[in-house]
Amino acid sequence: MLQGLENVITLNLAMNSISFIESDSFKQTPNLKYLVLSHNQLREINGNIFSNAATSNLKKLYINDNKLMFLPFNFFVRLRKFKNIVIAGNPWYCSCLTIVEMQPAENGIVEKCNEKYSSGERAVCISGSVGESNCVHLYNDDVSGRYETYKRTLPLPKKPVTCTF
Q: How confident is the model over 94-109, as pLDDT tens digits?
A: 888 877 788 777 778 8
Cβ-proximal residues to 91 (8 Å cutoff; 6+ apart), any chain: 67, 68, 69, 123, 125, 126, 143, 144, 146, 147, 148
Cβ-proximal residues to 43 (8 Å cutoff; 6+ apart), any chain: 19, 20, 66, 67, 68, 69, 139
Report the predicted TM-score, pTM, of the whole model to 2 decimal places: 0.82
> Which range, of 34-38, 71-75, 124-128, averages the lowest pLDDT?
124-128
One-letter amino acid identity for 65? D
Taking only the tens place, the pLDDT of each residue in 5-15 is 889 999 999 99
Mean pLDDT value across the chain: 79
- Running DSSP on this structure, what letter comes out for residue 11? E
Cα–Cα separations (whole angstroms), residue 119 to 6, 66, 113, 114, 123:
40, 20, 11, 8, 10
Spell out the domain ranges in the chain.
Answer: 10-153
Helix (H) or strand (E) holding 47: none
CATH topology of domain 10-153: 3.80.10
One-letter amino acid identity for 21? I
Q: How many CA atoms lie within 13 A of 90 on its CB side?
A: 30
